[in-house]
Structure 1
Amino acid sequence: MLKQFYKALFFTSRFYLTALAIILGLVVAFFVPPLFFIASFCALALTLLVIMDIFLLFGTRVPVAAARRMAQRFSNGDQNSVSLTVDNPHRFPIRVKVLEELPFQFQRRDFVLQARIPAQKSHVFSYNVRPVERGEYSFGHANLLVTSFFGLAERHYPAATPQVVKVFPSYMQLRQYEFMGFQNKMQDLGVHRRRTIGHSMEFDHIKEYVQGDDVRTLNWKATARRGGTLMVNNYVEEKSQQVICIIDKSRIMKMPFDGLTLLDYAINSTLVFSNVALQKGDKTGLATFVERQTDYLPPSNKKVQLNKILEMLYAQETQWQEADFQRLSVLLRTSLTQRSLLVFFTNFESLSGMQRQLPYLRKLARYHLVMVIFFENTGLRALTSGMAHTTEDIYIQTIAQKFADEKRLIAKELNRYGIITVLSTPEQLTVNAVNKYLELKASMQI
């Protein structure tokens, strides 16, 4: 008991400053004797107040409790809320300082929350954390340092049991798109409707002709049966098409942007993209590849498919090897028996790097509709848009412009061989990918 008492007892800065003032008073009293009685009285008063303060803090058997509440899983790259409820069992107000043991991934050792809690009341501390890596995050104890109204001593409570939470790909972004779609406010996110060019070959039903219907869809046999009343065929958007998201896990996807790697942006975008494709009635699948490792999830439109995609994306990590497009193309050619939309999330930093993979992309484009999504280097914008004041600035701008032009040249080269390209910034990746998919659906290319 005595050992626990010493471990839980701490003294505040107010106590040490007061004690220092008394010591200085005793030193000065050596030269000014009348001050000795004043300093002695202050020392006695401080001792009595400390004893009273300790009695108030340690005199109750009911501890100051805290409970941490948060979601069972966190969303990567988003603000996740955490709440900590602290109960005051004392009959007097207390002041609480909370030292949260955050997961080591956040690299914060100075995270402190403070509040004054009235007698026998509770207080809720709320804060947000933004993880930038997928995996397990371990929260430790919430260390409470409690002081009374004297503020001389404080008691330590190791409250809130340690918790482990898993960080998954950005499902908050997924919910945001679903909610905005339900409210028909997708345009606020940048997702726009596309005008349908032509019509689908998916027959739905026959109906009477009304002004505005396409006369090319007139059904003359049905018109003859109805005694001359014009009848037209009605078509609906084709469904059950196969859409495969393919994520490159090689070292080129390790490049960071705003705390996240390009791989994390691709994973977050894939999750939203797959959900949109499932809502459109298509079958979605997933493939991730690096040098000698290829993971493949067959396409499906079942309700559990999105959960399977989420679980598969959770464990993906970048590797230091190069991506093996040849191995991937062999796998896709043997696994996919019907024409599908292949959405590649990769990154090409040079034209020569793209040309090494171009033969395999062209081979896939013979049998499938291939869309390559790669990233624009946003760091080059500041270099190319700034003013050049010295010769060195001119050289830097010229080189930066060369790299920016090479990205556009890569997109143009891919388009020559019928490969659809999307050059996007990381923050706009999801919107641009979904918009391109909706455009392809509207134009009946898939």
Structure 2
Amino acid sequence: MKKHFIKDLFIHTRWYIGISITAFLFLFAFFIPWLWSVAMVVLLVFGGLTLLEYLLLFAGNRGLQARRITGERLNLGDENEIGISLLNLFPFPVHAEVLDELPVQFQERNFKRALTIPAGHKTTLPYTLRPLSRGEYRFGRILCYVSSPLCLLQRRIRIEAEQLVKVYPSTRYLRKYQLLALSDNMQFAGSKKIRRVGHSMEFEQIKDYVQGDDVRSINWKATARRGGLMVNNFIDARSQQIYCVIDKGRGMKMPFDGLSLLDYSINAALVFLNVALLKQDRAGLITFSSKINELVAAERNSTQLHKLNETLYRQTTDYSDSSYEALTATVLHKLSHRSFLLLFTNFETMASLERQLHYLRKLASRHLLCVVFFQNTLLKEIREGHADTLEGIYIKTIADRFDFEKKQIVKELRRYGIISVLTTPQDLTVDVVNKYLELKSRQMV
């Protein structure tokens, strides 16, 4: 904190008011002679107060200490709390105007906070930031303009507080859905868990034979020891392969509340994959546009969530046309076991679906496929509004047609045995996790 006695000196608005009053007194003294002595006294007092405040602000090793308080990561699309810790080292209370040099991505050029700090006291100035893109955000210096209770001059104090913070997909819902996954509250929502007996490789127990059990499962060694028929009982494997498939094509560029549909999908994918890992499933990730960009193999270990988070963080796209042909070829070649595929994409019309339906049907023939696409919230507002003009009636009719096509897309997917989730961006995370827990409770995953 280096002092510059001239460069860091600024004039307060109150000083200009005082000097203006003094100048008017001298002006009126030409017409009223006795005001001359009054004007001289005012000038001397005003000059003395100015000199006193200069000495108060710059004399000695006094100053103001500031430190930015923020985490190593910010959450994409969330209100992130930032704080500036301020310590007043002056022996008197100061009025401070604090300017934080925010990252260029926010395009915030008028950030200023004013407060009064008592002598020797420490306080924290809180504010929030909502990043709208992933990547590295670089904070600059903290500038403090302090003045004494006289408020005639200001001293600028520059604190070097450069800091690099990364913006990752939002983790706001991780704790909430972690508790939901562990408590398994789906039983209170009317879902009944059905135990299905199968011949997978996951052994459950040896039990007494009852009529109807598969005779091929008789355990002859256990039967010989017990003297009665015993059978091996198997259950479906619990550690299933779960893949989030994210379309990074042109259809995911549509903005909503400052974020693109791609960013909403990335945020929801992180929460969903965390829930899948907590449910003892193996979680993986596939992203694609004109080609396959990332393929993280489904695993279940302590570092998998970190690997998925880092992969989602560095996703970039030019929003080119999506190649479902490349996606289908890669999935059929790389994924040899039946998996649950959660596909984040967007279809606005039946024509856009029909171009890709052949590939979706091929994926659904080998894997359990769930297609997640989005409602157009702007069209919903138009449909619910009242049309007063002929043009408004036309627009509302077109909005109704697009909404009808969305419902037709759901029916068309269901006709070919493809699960679908039609949701809004703000409800995406909730609806996706609920659908997964529903399928899990029905033993489909």
2:303 is equivalent to residue 340 of structure 1 = no
Q: Residues 234 and 43 of structure 1: is their aligned pair in 2 closer, same or farther, counting only changes over 3 Å?
A: farther
SS at match of 2:5: helix
Distance 2:443 2:123 in 1: 57
- Paired residue for 1:309? 308
Q: Aligned pair in 2 of structure 1 residues 438, 234: CA closer, same or farther (>3 Å)? A: farther
Q: Could you say which residue in structure 2 is the equivalent of 1:39? A: 39
Q: Which residue of 2 aligns with 1:102?
A: 102
**Residue identity matched to 1:381:** K
CA distance in 2, matches of 1:16, 1:363: 77
Letter in 1 for 2:402: F
Give the conservation status (yes or no) of the 8 Å contact 1:80–1:128: yes
Instruction: Give how far 1:388 is off.
Output: 2.3
Superposed CA offset, 1:375-394 (max 9, x none): 01111111111222222221
The alignment partner of 2:366 has SS state of: coil
Conserved 8 A contact 1:199-1:235: no
Give the number of aligned pairs: 437
Relative to structure 1, is the Cα distance of residues 384 and 46 closer, same or farther in structure 2, using a 3 angstrom cutoff? same
3-state SS of 1:171 partner: coil
Counterpart residue number, 2:444: 445
The answer to whether the Cα contact below 8 Å between 2:286 and 2:292 also exists between their aligned partners in 1 is no
Corresponding residue for residue 79 of structure 1:
79
Q: Which residue of structure 2 aligns with residue 403 of structure 1?
A: 402
Cα shift at 1:208: 8.8
> What is the distance in 2 between the residues matched to 1:431 and 1:52?
62
Secondary structure of 1:405 counterpart: helix
Aligned-pair distance for 1:186? 6.3
**Contact 1:67/1:160 (<8 A) preserved:** no
Q: Secondary structure at the match of 2:333?
A: helix
Residues in 1 aligned to 2:53 and 2:386: alpha-carbon distance in whole angstroms: 65
Whole-Å Cα distance in 1 between the matches of residues 283 and 319 of structure 2? 28
Q: Pairwise mapping of residues 216-295 of structure 1 onto structure 2 (< 5 A)?
A: 238-295=237-294
Give, in whole Å, the separation in 2 of the partners of 1:399 and 1:141: 52
Aligned to 2:25: 25
Letter in structure 2 aligned against 1:199: R
Quote the Cα distance in structure 2 between the aligned partners of 1:257 and 1:371.
23
Superposed CA deviations along residues 84-114 of structure 1, whole A, max 9, x for unmatched, are 1111111111111101111122222222222
3-state SS of 1:362 partner: helix
Stretch of structure 1 that moved more, 334-343 or 32-41: 32-41
Residue 143 of structure 1 deviates from its aligned partner by 0.4
Q: Is residue 244–residue 286 contact of structure 1 (8 Å, CA) maintained in 2?
A: yes
Residue type at the aligned position of 1:26:
F
Q: From the superposition, tell whether residues 252 and 51 of structure 1 become closer, same or farther in structure 2 (CA, over 3 Å).
A: same
Partner of 1:8: 8
Distance 1:422 1:32, change over 3 A: same
Seen in structure 2, the aligned counterparts of structure 1 residues 366 and 147 have a Cα distance that, compared at 3 Å, is same
**Residue 322 (structure 2) aligns with:** 323
Give the match for residue 434 of structure 2: 435
Residue 348 of structure 2 is aligned to residue 349 of structure 1: yes
Structure-2 separation of matches of 1:314 and 1:101: 24
- Show CA shifts across 1:270-322 (max 9, x none): 00111111111111110110113421111111121111110000011232310
Distance between the aligned counterparts of 2:184 and 2:443, measured in 1? 24
Distance 1:215 1:157, change over 3 A: farther
What code does the residue aligned with 1:149 have?
A: P
Distance of 1:180 and 1:59 partners within structure 2: 60
Range with bigger deviation, 258-267 or 110-119: 110-119
CA shift for structure 1 position 149: 1.2
Alpha-carbon spacing, 1:180–1:24, altered in 2? closer, same or farther (3 Å): farther
TM, length-normalised to structure 1: 0.90
Q: What corresponds to 1:145 in structure 2?
A: 145
Looking at structure 2, the residues matched to 134 and 186 of structure 1 have their Cα atoms a distance apart, in angstroms, of 33
Superimposed CA distance per residue, residues 102-137 of structure 1 (whole angstroms, 9 cap, x where no aligned partner): 112222222222221111121111122111211111
User: What's the counterpart of residue 420 of structure 1?
Assistant: 419
The aligned residue for residue 199 of structure 1 is: 196
Q: Quick check: 1:193–1:438 contact (8 Å CA) kept in 2? A: no
Q: Secondary structure at the match of 2:361?
A: helix
Rounded Cα–Cα distance in structure 2 between residues aligned with 1:193 and 1:355? 35
Tell me what 1:123 maps to.
123
- The 3 A distance-change label for structure 1 pair 185 and 277 is closer
Query: CA 1:439–1:66 in 2, change beyond 3 Å: closer, same or farther?
Result: same
In structure 2, how many angstroms separate the alpha carbons of the residues matched to 1:350 and 1:398?
A: 15
Paired AA for residue 359 in structure 2: Y
Q: How many angstroms apart in 2 are the aligned matches of 1:350 and 1:444?
A: 32
Identity %: 42
